[in-house]
């Protein structure tokens, strides 16, 4: 077990996590099993104590512990303060060595299934999260929307059979960030986490079979319907980009370059939509680079009325066509860079940035420490030519997925459909 300390900014606030296993990579092909697992483990408590008893124990105490399923690992973690850190570490150790998987937690979850399914059917955000993103990942059951029948069939044993083998023995890296006394904290860790039996001494291998997803071939046009009485729709013009594989120390620069490209793209789309349509629109551009599943996507998003979706799509494609010929100016580049530099400054004063992005895997992936050291310098030294080269390589309209989310029934217009 690896312990990393970083005493940073928030007064009397301590965050911690223990990462282990293979997370969503290892998930059995059952839709939403990841969220079901998080729910069941929280509401099952530990050992013979269900969550109601635990809530009584931690009432009026500054302690929170939960399980989180990431793409390539699980984490059990939470937060506390100096006074309640001992209780927090006791609960953390108990979650690791004596977890419960209770049928009562499954019943609580089943009570929420009608609400869950209603949101998945009627929320534009949820249709984007599950239907659209699941489709981009080849309909893999680890990403798609569930059915009510599928959720009702989930049992506590689905969670224990999946997670316990990792929880019992896999490599675990524990990290602490916050306002604590180091000597006193070491003593508390030795008395709690230090009593956990010896574990494997290296992270589990990730097979290509676990990574494999079937990305649809581009170009393609597809519409995703959702049930709503409101005239709300969205254009989601998408390009495939490289994954952010973390096996080499240079990959962080890839995601940083795309953050600059996203910023320029968003500025252009916002200005052009306001010029043509007026009113208040908030388009944005995001890139997702997934090191676990070796895939990446850049998505330009604009939401408005259903009849505006084609206008949004045409605007985005026209801008992408210009950017793909190296048309980004120095002024646009600077306008995108300045807010990102401000965000970086805020991140560097945020304990959760240090926990999640820097030290959380710093033993297994020590190059992440170098990434953090180069963060400020990257945005100071980045040049517009780098972003133009990226746009020319990836933003051709001929490579785009023209996706939309609209009210009503599906009106798919797939072209050159296929799966690689």
pLDDT 10s per residue in the chain (420 long)?
A: 555 665 556 677 888 999 999 999 999 999 999 999 999 999 998 988 888 988 888 888 999 899 999 998 999 999 999 899 999 999 999 999 999 999 999 999 999 999 999 999 999 999 999 999 999 999 999 999 999 999 999 999 999 999 999 999 999 999 988 888 888 888 999 999 999 999 999 999 989 999 989 999 999 999 999 999 999 999 999 999 998 654 444 455 688 899 999 999 999 999 999 999 987 789 999 999 888 898 999 999 999 999 999 999 999 999 999 999 999 999 999 999 999 998 888 888 787 888 888 888 788 888 778 777 888 888 889 999 999 999 999 999 999 999 999 998 644 444 444 433
* Pair of tokens at residue 60: 């009026």
Sheet holding 233-240, edge to edge: 220-226, 401-407, 233-240, 295-304, 284-290
Residues 7 and 82: their CA atoms lie apart, in Å, by 12
CA distances from 378 to 40, 215, 342, 390, 394 (A): 42, 31, 13, 16, 21
Transcribe 296-347 into DSSP letters. EEEEEEEEE-GGGHHHHHHHHHHHHHHHTTT---HHHHHHHHHHHHHHHHHH
The CATH class for the domain spanning 2-208 reads alpha beta
Structural tokens at position 199 = 């574990």
Query: HSE (CB half, 13 Å, CA atoms) of 301?
Result: 16
Helical (H) or strand (E) element with 20: strand 14-20
HSE value, Cβ hemisphere, 13 Å, CA-based, for 243: 15
Q: Domain ranges in the chain?
A: 2-208, 215-407
Going along 158-316, which residue ranges are E strands?
172-178, 220-226, 233-240, 284-290, 295-304
Q: How far apart are CA 79 and CA 83, in angstroms?
A: 12
One fold for 2-208 and 215-407: yes
- Asked if residues 88 and 78 have their Cβ atoms less than 8 Å apart, the reply is yes
Model pLDDT for residues 239-262, shown as the tens digit of each residue: 999 986 544 444 556 888 999 999
Residue 229's contacts (CB-CB under 8 Å, 6 or more residues apart) are none
Residue with tokens 């293979």: 22
CB 187 within 8 A of CB 367: no
Strands 401-407 and 220-226: parallel
Candidates 41, 48, 47, 82; CA nearest to 65 is 41
pTM of the predicted model as reported, rounded to 2 decimal places: 0.89
Contact 184, 365 (CB under 8 A): no
Residue 248 DSSP one-character state: S
User: What CATH code would you report for 215-407?
Assistant: 3.30.830.10
Tens digits of residue pLDDT in 321-375: 999 999 999 999 999 999 999 888 888 878 788 888 888 878 888 877 877 788 8
d(CA 203, CA 171): 5
Distance of CA 310 to the CA centre of its chain: 29
């Amino acid at each position: 077990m690896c312990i990393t300390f970083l005493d940073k900014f928030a007064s009397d606030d301590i965050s911690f996590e223990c990462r282990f296993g293979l997370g969503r990579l290892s998930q059995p092909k059952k839709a939403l099993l990841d969220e079901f697992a998080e729910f069941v483990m929280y509401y099952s408590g530990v050992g013979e104590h269900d969550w109601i008893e635990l809530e009584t124990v931690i009432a009026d105490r500054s302690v929170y512990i939960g399980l989180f399923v990431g793409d390539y690992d699980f984490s059990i973690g939470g937060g506390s303060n100096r006074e309640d850190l001992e209780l927090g570490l006791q609960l953390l150790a108990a979650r690791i060595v004596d977890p419960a998987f209770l049928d009562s937690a499954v019943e609580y979850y089943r009570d929420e299934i009608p609400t869950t399914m209603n949101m998945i059917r009627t929320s534009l955000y949820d249709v984007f999260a599950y239907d659209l993103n699941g489709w981009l990942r080849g309909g893999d059951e680890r990403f798609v929307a569930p059915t009510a029948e599928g959720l009702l069939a989930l049992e506590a044993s689905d969670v224990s059979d999946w997670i316990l083998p990792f929880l019992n023995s896999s490599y675990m890296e524990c990290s602490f960030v916050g306002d604590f006394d180091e000597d006193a904290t070491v003593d508390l860790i030795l008395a709690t986490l230090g009593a956990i039996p010896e574990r494997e001494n290296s992270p589990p291998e990730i097979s290509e079979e676990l990574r494999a997803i079937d990305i649809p071939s581009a170009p393609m046009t597809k519409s995703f319907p959702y049930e709503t009485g409101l005239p709300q729709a969205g254009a989601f013009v998408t390009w495939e980009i490289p994954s952010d594989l973390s096996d080499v120390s240079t990959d962080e620069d890839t995601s940083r370059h795309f953050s600059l490209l996203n910023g320029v793209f968003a500025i252009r789309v916002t200005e052009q939509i306001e010029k043509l349509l007026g009113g208040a629109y908030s388009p944005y551009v995001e890139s997702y680079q997934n090191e676990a599943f070796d895939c990446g996507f850049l998505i330009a998003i604009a939401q408005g009325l259903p009849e505006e979706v084609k206008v949004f799509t045409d605007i985005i494609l026209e801008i992408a066509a210009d950017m793909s010929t190296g048309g980004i100016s120095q002024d646009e580049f600077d306008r995108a860079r300045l807010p990102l530099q401000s965000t970086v400054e805020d991140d560097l004063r945020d304990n959760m940035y240090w926990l999640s992005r820097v030290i959380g895997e710093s033993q297994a992936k020590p190059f992440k420490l170098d990434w953090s050291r180069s963060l400020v310098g990257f945005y100071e030294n980045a040049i517009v030519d780098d972003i133009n080269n990226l746009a020319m390589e990836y933003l051709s309209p001929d490579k785009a997925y023209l996706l939309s989310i609209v009210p009503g029934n599906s009106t798919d217009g797939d072209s050159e459909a296929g799966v690689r």
